[in-house]
Amino acid sequence: MNLASLKPEQIVPDLQSTDHLEVISELVGLLFDYLEQVENTPLPEDVKEKAYLSLTQREEKISTGIGSGVAIPHAFSEDIDEMAVIFGRSKKGVDFEAVDNNPVYFIVLFLVPQKDYHQHLQTLAAIAKLFTRSDIRKELALAESRDDILAVFNKHAVNS
């Protein structure tokens, strides 16, 4: 998974929610809006609800806040055929109960098809590696638009 492959519609430069479960809900809603546009067909409401439930159940077991202002909420879904990803940035910071107890500013939420278990581990590793770099986090914090955020991902795509 390379975040440089995201479309502008998969980037939320200013999340409105301030609670981690609300952030997940906001991102799931926007991700499914995007998927409906791509598929050009409405998705059943229960598919979105099941995805949200899987993500929040995962979050309640152990936080996906990996530290350094980053969270990677993720879950498996039997209702999708390929991985679905959305990136969100909170300018205020969100308490994700991260391992370092610091607020989270960057959230990469993804759903993986049930059949592609191995892809989930590769995706987690790639995202974590990218966000270990403080220069990338600083550039993302300063980016003003979806296109600016995407430009940061593109700039660092080779190294991620």
120: annotated active-site residue: no
Phi, psi of 54 (to 5 degrees): -60, -45
> How many C-beta neighbours within 10 Å does residue 28 have?
24
DSSP state of 68: T
Q: One of 20, 74, 120, 156 is an active-site residue; which one? A: 74
Angstrom distance (rounded) from CA 52 to CA 64 = 14
Angstrom distance (rounded) from CA 104 to CA 85 = 18
Helical ranges in the chain per DSSP H: 20-39, 45-61, 117-131, 134-142, 146-155
Catalytic residues, by residue number, are: 74
